[in-house]
A = this chain, B = another copy of it.
Amino acid sequence: PPGRKVLIVYAHQEPKSLNGSLKTVAVEELSKQGCSVTVSDLYAMQFEPRATRNDIVGCLHNSEAFNYGVESWEAYKRGGLSNDLIEEQKKVQEADLLIFQFPLYWFSMPAIMKGWMDRVLVQGFAYDFPNCYDSGLLKNKLALFSFTTGGSEDMYAKGSISGDIRYLLWPMQHGIMHFCGVKVLAPHICFAPEYVSEEKRKEMLIAWAQRLKTLWKEEPINCSPEWYFK
């Protein structure tokens, strides 16, 4: 709906890839609805995935022994995080919906996107204690993981060798997003696009555009072990 803000965190090297097209479809469809859409194109930004001392501007809280969690928390509070992180945090803060668009790498997100999680979602900004899970600091936001896989849908069925696809969503959806208080919409999964016809890939794009039309009416999943492990 008009006025809603969306941040798409996008991790693919190739604009012509299916991931690139899925991202473009989302930008177009959501813009058409009147949403304001921002894209963090991580590879194009050469986003830094490594959590290091460079993320802290100025003096350390404890220069005797570097503790990234403590230092990033302290830096956040005094406005001393590096500019790239402040920029990403602003985008997150303004967004009503976060869409993560990526190819599945090793049952998870690519390292460049994991680095975005590690570095952007610092204590004090995304959570604090006791403000985590349902009282996480990013509550009232929504997240959606949209990804492509190498393996086919039946390889990710319960009982088959790679296990239910939901098993691998636990760390991302529950361990990250739910931990920060974000409500999680059902994932959007394009299985094995490299092994299907061009026509089938076009159908995947249409299906995504179609889903986005009614996305704002969707209820979040019940992000608890039952959803993942039955």
Q: Which residues of A come within 8 Å of B, CB atoms?
A: 13-14, 16-17, 43, 46, 49-53, 64-69, 105-108, 110-112, 114-115, 117-119, 121, 133, 150, 161-163, 167-168, 170-172, 174-176, 179, 194, 225, 228-229
Q: Contacts A49-B49, A167-B225: A67 and B17 contacting too (C-beta < 8 A)?
A: yes
A167→B111 contact, CB < 8 A: no
For this complex, 23 residue pairs linking A to B, each with C-beta atoms less than 8 Å apart, are A13-B53, A14-B66, A14-B67, A17-B65, A49-B50, A49-B115, A50-B112, A51-B105, A51-B112, A106-B118, A106-B175, A106-B176, A108-B171, A111-B112, A111-B114, A111-B118, A114-B114, A163-B174, A163-B225, A167-B170, A167-B171, A168-B170, A171-B171
Q: Chain copies in the assembly?
A: 2
Rounded to whole angstroms, the CA-CA distance of A16 and B56 in the bound complex is: 19
B118→A65 contact, CB < 8 A: no
Shortest Cβ gap from A176 to chain B (Å): 5
Nearest to A119 among chain B residues (CB) is: B111
Which one of B49, B65, B67, B194 contacts A111 once the chains associate, using CB atoms below 8 Å?
B49
A168→B167 contact, CB < 8 A: no
B121→A69 contact, CB < 8 A: no
Which one of B13, B17, B52, B69 contacts A52 once the chains associate, using CB atoms below 8 Å?
B13
